[in-house]
Amino acid sequence: MPEIQERGSTHVYKVNRISKEEMESMVARCVYEEPPFCNAACPLKLDTRAFLKAAAGGDFKKALQLYEKATPFPLILSMGCEAPCETACRLCERGDGIAVRAVEAAAARYGQASRLGSVFRTKKKKTVAVLGSGLFPLFLAGELEKKAYPTTVFCEQDDLEAFLHCETEFLDEEAFALELKRLKGKDIQFVFGCDPDEAFFARQREAFDVLCASETVAKKLFPSEEADPALMILASEKLVTGCGSGVMAAAFGAKKAALTVDRLAQNLDPRNMRGSEGAVESRLYTDLSEASALRRVPSEQGGYTPEQAAQEAARCIQCHCEECMKSCAYLKHYKKYPGLLSKEIYNNTQIIMGDHQLNKPMNACTLCGQCTAVCPNGFDMAHVCAVARRNMVSTDKMPLAPHEFALMDMLFSNGDAFLSRPQPGFETCRYVFFPGCQASAIAPETVKAAYLDLCSRLDGGVALMLGCCGAICDWAGRCEMQESTREFLLTELSRLGDPVIIAGCPSCRKELAESVGGEVVGIWDILERIGLPEGTKRINRPAALHDSCGARGDAHTQQAIRNLASRLGVRIVETKYSGDRSPCCGYGGLTAYANPEVAGEITRKALERTDAPYITYCMACRDRFAREGRESRHILELIYGTDAGAPPDISEKRYNRLNLKRELLREFWQEETAEMKLDYELTFTDEARSLMDSRMILTDDVIAVLNDYREHGEAVLDSETGLLIARRRLGNATFWVKFTEDQEQGYTVHGAYSHRMNVVRREG
Amino acid sequence: MAIERNYYTIDPEGKLECMKCHVPLIKGKAKFMYLDNGFPVELPVCPVCGFVYVPEELALGKVASVERALEDK
Q: Could you report the per-residue pLDDT of B36-57, keeping only the tens digit for each?
A: 999 999 999 999 999 999 999 9
**Is residue A116 scored above 60 in pLDDT?**
no
Predicted confidence at residue B3, as pLDDT, reads 60
Cα torsion angle, B61, B67, B70, B71, sign = negative
- Residue A379 identity: F
The Cα A709–Cα A694 span in angstroms is 24
- Residue A364 identity: A
Least reliable range by pLDDT among A1-5, A100-104, A139-143: A1-5
- pLDDT bin (cut points 50, 70, 90) of residue A19 is confident
**Which of A166, A203, A205 is closest to A183 using CA atoms?**
A166
Give the distance, in angstroms, between the CA of residue A472 and the centroid of all CA atoms in the same chain: 22
DSSP string, A661-712: HHHHHHHHH----PPP--SS-EEE-HHHHHHHHHTT--HHHHHHHHHHHHHH
Give mean pLDDT, residues A240-256.
92
Cα torsion angle, A343, A348, A351, A357, sign = positive
DSSP string, A169-213: TTS-HHHHHHHHHHHHTS--EEE-S----HHHHHHHHHH-SEEEE
Cβ atoms within 10 Å of A529's Cβ, excluding its own? 10
Are A755 and B54 a contacting pair at CB < 8 A?
Answer: yes
Q: What is the CA radius of gyration of chain A?
A: 36
Predicted confidence at residue A721, as pLDDT, reads 96
Predicted confidence at residue A432, as pLDDT, reads 98
- Nearest residue of A to residue B21, measured between CA atoms: A714
Instruction: Kindly report the length of chain B.
Output: 73
Check CB contact of B2 with chain A, cutoff 8 Å: no
Cβ atoms of A331 and A552 within 8 Å: the answer is no
Q: Provide the angle, in degrees to the nearest 10, between the axes of the packed helices A60-70 and A100-110.
A: 110
Give mean pLDDT, residues A282-309.
90
Above pLDDT 90, what percent of chain B?
82
Above pLDDT 70, what percent of chain B?
95
- pLDDT bin (cut points 50, 70, 90) of residue A112 is confident
- pLDDT bin (cut points 50, 70, 90) of residue A20 is confident
Alpha-carbon distance B25 to nearest alpha carbon in chain A (angstroms): 8
Instruction: Enumerate residues 6+ apart whose C-beta is below 8 A from A590.
Output: A363, A402, A403, A406, A472, A475, A476
Predicted confidence at residue A245, as pLDDT, reads 86
The Cα A739–Cα A733 span in angstroms is 19
Cβ atoms of A77 and A71 within 8 Å: the answer is yes
The Cα A652–Cα A441 span in angstroms is 8
The Cα A337–Cα A320 span in angstroms is 11
Are B73 and A719 a contacting pair at CB < 8 A?
Answer: no
**Is residue A733 scored above 80 in pLDDT?**
yes
| Closest CB to A10 among B32, B35, B50 | B35
Mean pLDDT over each residue of chain A, to the nearest integer: 94
Cβ atoms within 10 Å of A611's Cβ, excluding its own? 9
The Cα A568–Cα A57 span in angstroms is 53
- Per CATH, the architecture of A128-265 is what? 3-Layer(bba) Sandwich (3.50)
First to last CA, chain B: 31
The Cα A485–Cα A473 span in angstroms is 9
Stated as kind and residue range, the H or E segment containing A128 is: strand A128-131
**Is residue A99 scored above 90 in pLDDT?**
yes
pLDDT in tens, A538-582: 988 999 999 999 999 999 999 999 999 999 999 999 999 999 999
DSSP-derived pairing of the beta strands A716-718 and A542-546: unpaired
Kindly list the residues from chain A whose CB atom is less than 8 angstroms away from the CB atom of residue B35.
6-10
Instruction: Enumerate residues 6+ apart whose C-beta is below 8 A from B36.
Output: A8, A9, A10, A11
**Which of A545, A550, A536 is closest to A503 using CA atoms?**
A550
Are B17 and A720 a contacting pair at CB < 8 A?
Answer: no
Kindly list the residues from chain B whose CB atom is less than 8 angstroms away from the CB atom of residue A755.
54, 59-60, 63-64, 67
Cβ atoms within 10 Å of A534's Cβ, excluding its own? 8
DSSP string, A140-171: HHHHHHHTT--EEEE-SSSSHHHHHHTT-TTS
Q: Indicate whether this complex's ipTM tops 0.85.
A: yes
Instruction: Enumerate residues 6+ apart whose C-beta is below 8 A from A232.
Output: A240, A241, A242, A243, A253, A256, A257, A260
- Nearest residue of A to residue B46, measured between CA atoms: A716
Predicted confidence at residue A452, as pLDDT, reads 97
Alpha-carbon distance B15 to nearest alpha carbon in chain A (angstroms): 5
The Cα A28–Cα A19 span in angstroms is 14
Above pLDDT 70, what percent of chain A?
99
Q: DSSP state, A115?
A: S
Give mean pLDDT, residues A31-47.
96
| Closest CB to B19 among A401, A715, A764 | A715
Give mean pLDDT, residues A598-602.
98
Alpha-carbon distance A679 to nearest alpha carbon in chain B (angstroms): 22
Q: What is the CA radius of gyration of chain B?
A: 13
Cβ atoms of A726 and A706 within 8 Å: the answer is yes
- pLDDT bin (cut points 50, 70, 90) of residue A151 is very high
**Is residue A36 scored above 80 in pLDDT?**
yes
Predicted confidence at residue A113, as pLDDT, reads 67
Query: B 27-46 residues with CB below 8 A of A?
Result: 28-37, 39-40, 43-45
Mean pLDDT over each residue of chain B, to the nearest integer: 92
The Cα A643–Cα A646 span in angstroms is 9
Are A753 and B56 a contacting pair at CB < 8 A?
Answer: yes
- C-alpha to C-alpha distances, A509 to A517, A531, A533, A617, A668, nearest whole angstrom: 10, 20, 22, 12, 25
**Is residue B7 scored above 80 in pLDDT?**
yes
Are A356 and B73 a contacting pair at CB < 8 A?
Answer: yes
Least reliable range by pLDDT among A138-147, A235-244, A432-441: A235-244
pLDDT in tens, A454-506: 999 999 999 999 999 999 999 999 999 999 999 999 999 999 999 999 999 99
Query: B 6-25 residues with CB below 8 A of A?
Result: 15-20, 25
**Which of A601, A592, A536 is closest to A565 using CA atoms?**
A536
Instruction: Kindly report the length of chain A.
Output: 764
pLDDT in tens, A188-227: 999 999 988 889 999 999 999 999 999 999 999 999 888 9
Put the strands of the sheet holding A462-466 in their side by side order: A419-421, A462-466, A431-434, A500-503, A520-522
Give mean pLDDT, residues A383-407.
95
Are B19 and A724 a contacting pair at CB < 8 A?
Answer: yes
| Closest CB to A714 among B35, B51, B70 | B51
Alpha-carbon distance B4 to nearest alpha carbon in chain A (angstroms): 11
Predicted confidence at residue A120, as pLDDT, reads 66
Domains of chain A, residue spans: 20-32+322-397, 37-113+304-313, 128-265, 402-659, 682-755
**Is residue A114 scored above 70 in pLDDT?**
no
- pLDDT bin (cut points 50, 70, 90) of residue B4 is low
**Is residue B2 scored above 80 in pLDDT?**
no
Instruction: Enumerate residues 6+ apart whose C-beta is below 8 A from A129.
Output: A151, A152, A153, A154, A204, A207, A208, A210, A211, A212
